[in-house]
Amino acid sequence: MSKRHDAIFEDVLKDLNKDAAQGEDDRGGTRFLRRSNALAEVGEREEKVHRWVDPALCVMWERHNRAYELLNEDNCRDLIDSIRSQGQQEFPAIVRKLGKGRAAEYEVICGARRHFAVSWLRANNYPQFRYLVEVRDLSDEEAFRLADVENRDREDISDFERAKDYAGALEQYYGGRQKAMAERLEVSEGWLSRYLTLARLPDIVVSAYASIRDIKVLHARTLKPLFADPKSGPAVLEAAQDVAARQTAAREGKGAPIEASKVLSILKSAAPSPKRTRPPEQVFRGAEGGSGVTLRKRGSKVILEFSEKLSDDELRVAFDAFLAGRPKGRR
């Protein structure tokens, strides 16, 4: 965990009563763990509430930055084993209380993997496990920033998931003002811009990857100039459509999925190579019909070529002709 993540949660964990009865429920006896702590920013006091609840009472916040449907036993195995070996979940998830008339009681802001792990354990012969939550009163923008702080350093959230979260938040909370959002998140505009570029990849390009977890910021940076070029953009999109069809077939058991690095290579190679044109030449001759001196420009450099058989007089005349043709400021 990052230091910033620790700062958010360290006071939550200090006096957590690990002997609290996990089997008690507030509807039939959930044990409430309350502790007041000073809020340095505003000088007020907030009462934090921790509860052991049935995970079935919780739903993911619709703006949650993790694709819950991608969670499975394999990618949550480390957390499942950790909770099982320690006998309980250690870090509370952050939730908001939902209003009456809703099917669920809590909305998960941070803690999707913990929710999945506890749910999996309960469904697989460990019904004693409960989901540890901290109830907070948060605005949507505050919830977004809190979730971002917790998950920014986590490798198990893909670049693409994070990018789509940022793109949605940019419009929803910051009125499309990228600078304001970067300042609020305490990141550079350049860093944020790279994720927003990833979020704006065409859907067909996203479909060309076997999983959204495979799509990296670097891929978007590589492909961006190809889409900006009217000559290469359509060709890359056509290649992406072909690769996407092959990935769909692979998911249906017809062939193997194409790895991310191979996908990027295919898309890059679909762009037509720029035609190399021979740099223009000038020939300065010392005598009628002589071979003279040939001038070629290569970037900011000038290359002069002449035969070693050229006489000194012919070479001198040719150089004089070359110098006479230069701009006045360089003579």
**What local confidence, expressed as pLDDT, does residue 118 receive?**
97
* Same domain as 132, residue 248: no
* Same domain as 105, residue 29: yes
Phi and psi dihedrals of 106, rounded to 5? Answer: -130, 150
Q: Is residue 115 part of a domain?
A: yes
H/E/C letters for each residue in 36-75? EEECCCCCCEEEEEEEEECHHHEEECCCCCCCHHHCCCCC
Total count of domains within the chain: 3
**What local confidence, expressed as pLDDT, does residue 149 receive?**
86
For the stretch 52-85, pLDDT in tens is 999 999 999 988 878 888 899 999 999 999 999 9
Among 138, 156, 174, residue at a domain's last position: 156
Distance in angstroms (rounded) separating the CA atoms of residues 83 and 118? 8
Which residue range forms the structural domain that includes residue 262? 161-270
Q: Are 75 and 84 in contact (CB under 8 A)?
A: no
- The residue behind tokens 């006091």 is 45
| Closest alpha carbon to 213 in 233, 198, 229 | 198
pLDDT at 311 over 90: no
**What local confidence, expressed as pLDDT, does residue 273 receive?**
73
- Higher pLDDT among residues 169 and 327, named by residue: 169
* Same domain as 189, residue 82: no
* Same domain as 29, residue 143: yes
Q: Is residue 276 part of a domain?
A: no
* Same domain as 84, residue 58: yes
* Same domain as 84, residue 173: no
Q: Is residue 21 part of a domain?
A: yes
Distance in angstroms (rounded) separating the CA atoms of residues 181 and 193? 11
For the stretch 29-42, pLDDT in tens is 333 333 333 333 43
Among 109, 135, 156, residue at a domain's last position: 156
Distance in angstroms (rounded) separating the CA atoms of residues 263 and 213? 13
| Closest alpha carbon to 266 in 237, 287, 292 | 237
Q: Is residue 303 part of a domain?
A: yes
Q: Is residue 275 part of a domain?
A: no
Encoded amino acid at 111, one letter: G
pLDDT at 21 over 50: no
Encoded amino acid at 132, one letter: L
**What local confidence, expressed as pLDDT, does residue 199 receive?**
95
**What local confidence, expressed as pLDDT, does residue 320 receive?**
78
Among 128, 156, 184, residue at a domain's last position: 156
What pTM did the predictor assign?
0.64
Q: Is residue 138 part of a domain?
A: yes
Q: Is residue 80 part of a domain?
A: yes
pLDDT at 131 over 60: yes
pLDDT at 145 over 60: yes
**What local confidence, expressed as pLDDT, does residue 290 receive?**
64
Tokens of 211: 């999983």
* Same domain as 137, residue 220: no
**What local confidence, expressed as pLDDT, does residue 282 receive?**
74
**What local confidence, expressed as pLDDT, does residue 94 receive?**
92
pLDDT at 18 over 70: no
Residue 10 pLDDT level (bands cut at 50, 70, 90): very low
pLDDT at 48 over 80: no
Q: Is residue 66 part of a domain?
A: yes
For the stretch 99-126, pLDDT in tens is 887 889 999 999 999 999 999 999 999 9
* Same domain as 169, residue 25: no
3-state helix, strand, coil in the chain (%, to 5): 45, 15, 40
* Same domain as 149, residue 24: yes
111 three-state secondary structure: coil
* Same domain as 191, residue 152: no
**What local confidence, expressed as pLDDT, does residue 276 receive?**
63
CATH number, domain at 199? 1.10.10.2830
Phi and psi dihedrals of 93, rounded to 5? Answer: -80, 155
Q: Are 299 and 286 in contact (CB under 8 A)?
A: no
For the stretch 158-208, pLDDT in tens is 899 999 999 999 999 999 999 999 999 999 999 999 999 999 999 999 999
One-character DSSP codes across 306-327 = E-TTS-HHHHHHHHHHHHHTS-
**What local confidence, expressed as pLDDT, does residue 29 receive?**
35
Least confident of 4-8, 166-170, 308-312: 4-8
Contacts of 197 (CB under 8 A, 6+ apart): 217, 220, 221, 224
**Average of per-residue pLDDT values in the chain:** 81
Q: Are 302 and 322 in contact (CB under 8 A)?
A: no
- Higher pLDDT among residues 298 and 129, named by residue: 129
pLDDT at 151 over 60: yes
* Same domain as 7, residue 152: yes
- The residue behind tokens 């005598």 is 287
Least confident of 158-162, 219-223, 279-283: 279-283
* Same domain as 255, residue 236: yes
